[in-house]
Amino acid sequence: MPGTIHVATDRHVATVTLDSPGKLNAISVAMWLELRRAFESFATAPVRCVVVRGAGGNFAAGADIEEFRDVRHDEASGRRFHLELLAPALEAIRAAPQPVIAAIEGVCVGGGLEIALACDVRIAAEGARFGAPVGRLGFPFALPELRPMLELVGPGVAAELLLTGRLYDAQEALAKGLIQRVVAADGLAAAIEETVGGVLAGSPLAARLNKSQIRLLLARGMQYTQHDLDSSFAFFGSNDYREGVSAFLEKRPPRFTGT
């Protein structure tokens, strides 16, 4: 049975499930394309939060190596694979205007780790394992894929992952900054629900602005222009700002519209 990406939406929350039976959810070429299309569609969808998970107790074991002899067998095909397939899919996740939460259990390695690192919040169950043992397959991380890892965990952790092929357990991944939270194996669903609830309680506009400003500062080496600064205060004219303050003063739940 070929792998696929399932997308289900319920009450403004989209759940994206990586599903490749018998392969620990290894990501095929078709799945990378589906993943990109799914996240690009969220730009105009009435979705306020996205959860990414794997089927069958694992997040994802990386790209589908069985396809490598066909889709990345020389330099030209390798460039296409990484620059025209993987990089755009990962960028689509990072560029989603909504908060994206990774619900991680089991194996999360290689391309699966890259997908998780592209998400905004990463919550893992005890027993999850993280790594990028690509050296054992004879290749390095591509530059567009290495940069987000370096930005997140720095050169020391990135070097250990890539040069030794070690797998981190959930607690070590937490200590080294790969993830933000570890929960008991039977508590992952509740932790994700709690986190999604926190997102939905906030302003969609504020969430979009926070995400875009984080990306801007990372892309600019923590620098910003006068135009960036001026634009960052435009929210004072928004409906969400007025509603948030009014709801707080009136001691009632806010009714945000995202405008």
pLDDT in tens, 13-53: 999 999 999 999 999 999 999 999 999 999 999 999 999 99
pLDDT at 1 over 80: no
Q: How far apart are CA 147 and CA 143, in angstroms?
A: 6
* Predicted pLDDT at 37: 98
In order of 58, 68, 75, 88, 135, the CA distances from 81 in angstroms are 24, 9, 10, 10, 18
Residue 90's pLDDT band, with cuts at 50, 70 and 90, is very high
Find the helix or strand (DSSP H, E) in which 88 lies. Answer: helix 87-95
Q: Are 133 and 152 in contact (CB under 8 A)?
A: no
Find the helix or strand (DSSP H, E) in which 109 lies. Answer: strand 107-109
Q: How far apart are CA 59 and CA 119, in angstroms?
A: 13
Q: How far apart are CA 233 and CA 193, in angstroms?
A: 31
pLDDT at 2 over 90: no
pLDDT at 159 over 90: yes
As a whole number, mean pLDDT of residues 130-139 equals: 95
pTM (2 d.p.): 0.95
Q: What is the dihedral of CA 205, 208, 214, 219, to 10 degrees?
A: -130
Domains with residue ranges and CATH for the chain? 4-199 (3.90.226.10), 202-249 (no CATH)
Sheet with 181-183: strands ordered across: 4-10, 13-19, 49-54, 100-104, 121-125, 181-183
As a whole number, mean pLDDT of residues 145-169 equals: 96
What is the rounded average pLDDT for all residues in the chain? 96
As a whole number, mean pLDDT of residues 183-208 equals: 97
pLDDT in tens, 104-120: 999 999 999 999 999 99
